[in-house]
């Protein structure tokens, strides 16, 4: 399905927030909602968000104050938390190849939500990017639209996360190349990284086969296609 990339939405106390998939009122995404203000909570209610899906690890999560129901689906499940160094493509391959059950649980939560869902992690670009990509791909959206939506995060995230990235990498004695790649991991959403993830997904059977293999039901697939206004396909 070809469709427009939706404009950003305002949520006071968060950033990198927008509707995905070319339709308002379907699937929203953002950075962390931990610092959402009362005004931001009102905005979430006005947007009609019925469920928040938090993809962070337990040690990353704060106490939400936005008043929306939350389903937590930690994706990495690694002893040291999210990767701090390395390549975006390698991280995406790890999640797709080793965390299919978790990714599918998050997509199923989107399908089962009683209304519009909002997915977030910390910056709303990598974990969120993969889950949103899977949901949109399963619903029939084109690779081009999925990549375009994903790529919007980089310019928005960088001003908020540069200081954190510099701090996370400080003292790690990385080579110049490793440092560049690790900063890209923290700060960027390059189109080629999502194209790589979609190619990996295709090698694993494509979005529908992948999600069904990991537990997505026929009813949930139907709900995704209906709720995200995508063209159904086999």
Catalytic positions, please? 121
Q: Treating both helix axes as pointing N-terminal to C-terminal, what angle do 218-227 and 127-138 enclose, rounded to 10 degrees?
A: 100
Exposure of 49 by Cβ count < 10 A (0-12 exposed, 13-18 middle, 19+ buried)? buried
Tracing tokens 């670009």 back to the chain, one arrives at 125
Which residues lie below 8 Å from residue 14, measured CB to CB, with a gap of 6+? 30, 31, 32, 33, 35, 36, 40, 120
User: In terms of Cα–Cα distance, which of 131, 92, 95 is closest to 216?
Assistant: 131
CB atoms within 10 A of CB 159: 10
Q: What pairs with residue 72 in β-bridges? A: 54
């Amino acid at each position: 399905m070809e469709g427009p990339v939706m404009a950003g939405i305002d949520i006071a106390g968060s950033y990198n927030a927008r509707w995905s998939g070319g339709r308002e009122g379907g699937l929203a995404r953002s950075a962390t909602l931990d610092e959402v203000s009362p005004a931001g909570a009102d905005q979430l209610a006005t947007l009609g968000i019925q469920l928040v899906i938090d993809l962070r690890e337990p040690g990353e999560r704060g106490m939400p104050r936005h008043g929306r129901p939350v389903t937590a689906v930690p994706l990495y499940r690694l002893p040291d938390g999210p990767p701090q160094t390395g390549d975006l493509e390698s991280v995406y391959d790890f999640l797709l190849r080793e965390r299919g059950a978790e990714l599918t649980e998050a997509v199923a939560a989107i399908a089962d939500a009683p209304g519009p869902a909002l997915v977030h992690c910390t910056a709303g670009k990598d974990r969120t990017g993969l889950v949103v990509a899977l949901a949109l791909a399963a619903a029939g959206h084109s690779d081009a639209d999925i990549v375009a939506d994903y790529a919007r995060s980089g310019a928005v995230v960088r001003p908020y996360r540069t200081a954190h990235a510099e701090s996370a990498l400080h003292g790690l004695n990385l080579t110049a190349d490793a440092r560049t790649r690790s900063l890209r991991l923290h700060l960027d959403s390059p189109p080629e990284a999502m194209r790589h993830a979609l190619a990996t997904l295709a090698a694993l059977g494509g979005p529908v086969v992948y999600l069904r293999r990991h537990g997505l039901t026929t009813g949930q697939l139907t709900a995704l296609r209906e709720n995200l206004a995508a063209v159904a396909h086999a």
